[in-house]
Amino acid sequence: MRVLGVDPGLTRCGLGVVDGSDGRRVSCVAVDVVRTPVEAPLERRLLAVGAEVERWIALHRPDVVAIERVFSQHNVRTVMGTAQASGVVALLAARAGLPVAFHTPSEVKAAVTGEGRAGKEQVTSMVTRLLGLAEAPRPADAADALALAICHCWRAPMLDRMAQAKARSDELAKAHRARLAAAAKAAQR
């Protein structure tokens, strides 16, 4: 499975592509950060992020796009920019026919480091080690994008199994309700 991980942002948007194989083996395909100038109009910044994401989708042909789920911060302006960049990425992935998965920062940290409250340096260190990189990806947005991709590689099989189990459970429950209704109807005769 090839995953494009995106750490959304307007000033810096991290992009990382990871290949995941059976088990927990992962390898880095590419990593970079899209930067936009703070003084540029919002629509131009979103356009720049979108153009680079589109280019990466065409170039690296991921199977899925994993995006960090926006969480509430004290700075509303920052959260709005992050949410807008996230929306652009999700739209472009959908336009390319790719599924989109959202992971919270704590899910990503827990998957990569074993600790949901790990710091940026710990995440960067583990990403570097897990991918066998010669040097740590910088800035942290690049490491976070790779961490998102790794997280998805490892969580996707479990999430698929859980969805299949729920679907099977729903089928069994529906069949059971039908049998109960039939028994109740038969008892009324």
Q: Which residues are catalytic?
A: 7, 68, 141
Name the burial class of residue 8, with classes exposed (0-12), middle (13-18) and buried (19+) by CB atoms within 10 angstroms of its CB.
Answer: buried
Evaluated on CA atoms 55, 57, 124, 71, the torsion sign reads positive
Chain position carrying tokens 């040097």: 135
| Strand 64-68 to 2-7 pairing | parallel
Q: How many CB atoms lie within 10 A of CB 34?
A: 24
